[in-house]
Amino acid sequence: MIDTHSHLFAEEFVEDLAAVVERARLAGVAKVFMPNIDDSTLKAMLDVSKAYRGYCYPMLGFHPTSVDAEALPRVREMKKLLSGVHPFIAIGEVGMDLYWDKTYLKEQQKVLDVQIQWALEYRMPLVLHCRDAFPELFQVMEPYRHTELSGVFHSFTGTLEEAEQVLEFSRFALGVNGVVTFKKSTLPQVLAAVPLDRIVLETDSPYLAPVPFRGKRNESSYISKVAEKLSEIYGIDMEQVNRITTRNALKVFKMAE
């Protein structure tokens, strides 16, 4: 399995990161992809990727909840890290989040657009975050519909109509995590109409731990619970789920092959 979205560099893992990684390996996780938050988290993320080279792969991005009126110069400064040889496998985590605050809607859209352009310029996939901002995010995405843009719509929890809208971008996959195991989640019904070859596994650890760990710190080893649920939804064994979703992940994240 590949955990395509895990914040292993977060402070929640400082005390026992080695044990967390070992549990992930034992659970069958072959690689972990780490989305960045903003310029303040780069060092921690790169330190983890160096410590676990070939296992933990970093991304470069500026998360929408970090965006304010002064964000754009900070974002543009980060682009310098893409010149020459670099370790990043994707542009992420980027997108829009209007759940907490709508003050910087236009700034979020501008920052997203700038980073979409990075993804196209450097031929890297885009890892999208979207919370309470589906129409506003797709307003930015629409002009890029017929480009080479690829990536993952991370932590997808939307409707079937929204899933279909994402899948119209033919090089994008849906990232599915522990939310699919929640008792009141409508995601199983939605995913039943989505081809498995458009899905990748993720945890979003330390957040969104699956049942039976809900409410606790999430970690990459728990991705097996996501795979188990997908096995149930698609009526196939876990081995097939793991093989197909791993192939899907490497199709998107070509630099991590």
Token couple for 36: 């960045």
Q: Residue 112: is its pLDDT beyond 90?
A: yes
Write out pLDDT tens, residues 14-59: 999 999 999 999 999 999 999 999 999 999 999 999 999 999 999 9
Answer for the pair 122, 82: CB distance below 8 angstroms, yes or no: yes
Cβ-based burial of 218 (10 A; exposed 0-12, middle 13-18, buried ≥19): buried
What pTM was estimated for this model as a whole? 0.97
CA atoms within 13 A on the CB side of 177: 25
Query: Coil, strand, or helix at residue 230?
Result: helix
Nearest C-alpha neighbor of 162 from the set 123, 184, 132, 182: 132
Nearest C-alpha neighbor of 60 from the set 84, 32, 93: 93
d(CA 173, CA 156): 10
Rg (CA), the chain: 17
Q: Residue 257: is its pLDDT beyond 90?
A: no
d(CA 248, CA 6): 17
57-80 core/surface letters (b: 16 or more CB in 10 A; e: else)? bbbbbbbbbbbeeebeebbeebbe
Give the dihedral sign, CA 158/164/166/171: positive
Topology of 2-256 in CATH?
TIM Barrel (3.20.20)
Write out pLDDT tens, residues 189-227: 999 999 999 999 999 999 999 999 999 999 999 999 999
Name residues whose C-beta falls within 8 Å of residue 184's C-beta, 6 or more positions apart in sequence.
none
Backbone angles phi, psi at 240, to 5 degrees: -65, -45
Residue whose entry in the numeric block shows the structure tokens 């791993």? 246
Q: Residue 83: is its pLDDT beyond 90?
A: yes
